[in-house]
Amino acid sequence: MRIEVWADVVCGWAYIGKRRLEAALADPAFDGVPVEVVWRPFRIDPTAPARAVPLEEAYGDPIVDTALRRCAPGLSPMENRARVSEIAAEEGLGPRWGAAWRADTHDAHRLLALAFERGDAARQNAVAERVMKAHFVEGRDISDREVLAAVAAEAGFADGAALLEAGAGEDVVRELLLTGKARGVATSPTIVVGDRALAGAQPAEVIREFLLKGGRRRELPEEVERLRYAESLLDQRDPFGALVLLRPLLDEHGDDRTVRMLAARAYFASAQLGRARPTLEWLVAKSPDDSYARHLLGRTLQRQGLAEEAAPHLTMAAVMTPEYA
């Protein structure tokens, strides 16, 4: 059974959720069951400064307020802080508890992704434990690469520091963040098994019941899954994110109409009209009776100030599909 934990390492509930997940998996019901826990990135505070600042100074920032609410929906930052501290103590996290820094977690997520990619789930789990302990218990700045290098070594991933310095893991983390968004992950932590998700750091018994129900996920070719995620991002008005996921498909399957059409929609939605136009012209040339492609080409030409060139396409699209009139 593969368990994906989508979480940010600066979310206290993620660390609590880790302990509760471990308690759930210690139940005899899972004896002999092969389990793989994989950590996936989620950012509660993507605007955190590159250079960490003391957390006490950051609490008055409305952006920090918003970030903390993504970690604990329904609670004010102060309510969340008090409740997390109390529950962390109950879960045995401490004796000291409390982050000291508002730290950017991009490199920490890269380190986790690399630990899994270059090792396995066990190594990644060890790194996740050390990163969160460093942040919440030891009060260290986990945006500092020297701190991350020490944490990686302590977790048995000595190669991690060099990989970070070489820029490894950038694309992996970027795509995983977009994939999580496409799949509807909206809070930290979110536990996913197959096609089922459990949001929040639920009690161990709730997690146990969730895991026992399992979750089947329809196995799709990687290309089809990537295409669906890109379409989900476009539906969420993130055309740039959709194009990131589409890039490998455009490189390898550029003659596929479905791929081209989704790219054309993303180009149009992101105002990249210079890219939308040739893509749509190619689609219209291949399928002259595609009213949607014609309509979108006409609108693209209109937005480029080419009304006369747009008119025939818009007229023909309206004739074929009256709702485009």
171-185 pLDDT tens trace: 999 999 999 999 999
Lowest mean pLDDT among 51-60, 121-130, 153-162: 51-60
For 118-178, the DSSP string reads TT-HHHHHHHHHHHHHHHHTS---TTSHHHHHHHHHHTT-TTHHHHHHTTTTHHHHHHHHH
Measured CA to CA, the distance from residue 87 to residue 17 in angstroms comes to 11
Measured CA to CA, the distance from residue 77 to residue 60 in angstroms comes to 10
Kindly report, residue by residue over 258-316, the tens digit of the pLDDT.
999 999 999 999 999 999 999 999 999 999 999 999 999 999 999 999 999 999 999 99
Residues 232 and 159 in one domain: no
Residue 65: pLDDT band with limits 50, 70, 90: low
Tokens describing residue 317: 């699209």
Measured CA to CA, the distance from residue 209 to residue 187 in angstroms comes to 20
Residue 323: pLDDT band with limits 50, 70, 90: very high
Measured CA to CA, the distance from residue 311 to residue 297 in angstroms comes to 10
- 228: domain CATH number is 1.25.40.10
Closest Cα partner for 194 from 180, 213, 208, 178? 213
Measured CA to CA, the distance from residue 310 to residue 302 in angstroms comes to 6
Residues 140 and 19 in one domain: yes
Residues 116 and 226 in one domain: no
Residues 146 and 281 in one domain: no
Q: What is the pLDDT of residue 218?
A: 73
Which residue among 196, 213, 230 closes a domain?
213
| Alpha carbon of residue 258 to chain centroid | 24
pTM over 0.85: yes
Which domain covers residue 226, as residue numbers?
A: 222-324
Residue 118: pLDDT band with limits 50, 70, 90: very high
